[in-house]
Amino acid sequence: MARNFKGPGHKSPNPKLVGRGIMEAIDTEGPFNDWVGMPQYYIHHLTVDSQSYRYLSPDKILGIELGKKVTFRYKETAKDKFIDKNSLGVVIDPSELL
């Protein structure tokens, strides 16, 4: 019986990086459709604290306002930094809720 058990001490060779900062700019391209049956998607080029990232989304409107503090997980490639799907969110500061 073959299993893909990596054990408790196993670490991923490419750990996810965490980004956080103020959303400075959003530039959207699309829609794109790479193959039949795949839903359309948009590429959002985001600038967060003077760093450029790319985020793929099925939505044309990202839904996050400029100037908001955001957090996300991402991976770096040789050319770009890609934000993981469903990891982009607005930071909620409890001190601002009062």
Helix (H, G, I), strand (E, B) or coil at 42: strand
- Please check whether residue 82 lies inside any domain of the structure: yes
- Please check whether residue 93 lies inside any domain of the structure: no
**Which residue from 19, 51, 56, 26 is spatially nearest to 40, judged by alpha carbons?**
56
What's the number of CA atoms in the CB half-sphere (13 Å) around residue 8? 0
> Domain total for the chain?
1
- Please check whether residue 29 lies inside any domain of the structure: yes
Euclidean distance between CA atoms 82 and 37, whole angstroms: 23
- Please check whether residue 47 lies inside any domain of the structure: yes
- Please check whether residue 48 lies inside any domain of the structure: yes
- What tokens appear for 10 in the block? 């196993």
pLDDT digits (tens, 9 = 90+) for 24-72: 999 999 888 877 777 899 999 999 999 999 999 999 998 899 999 999 9
How far is Cα of residue 27 from the mean position of the Cα atoms in its chain?
Answer: 14
Residue 13 has pLDDT above 90, yes or no: no
Determine the structural domain holding residue 58 and report its residue range.
17-86
- Please check whether residue 6 lies inside any domain of the structure: no
Q: What pLDDT sits at residue 37?
A: 78
Q: What pLDDT sits at residue 36?
A: 78
- Please check whether residue 2 lies inside any domain of the structure: no
Residue 14 has pLDDT above 70, yes or no: no
pTM of the predicted model as reported, rounded to 2 decimal places: 0.77
pLDDT digits (tens, 9 = 90+) for 75-94: 998 899 999 998 999 998 88
- Please check whether residue 9 lies inside any domain of the structure: no
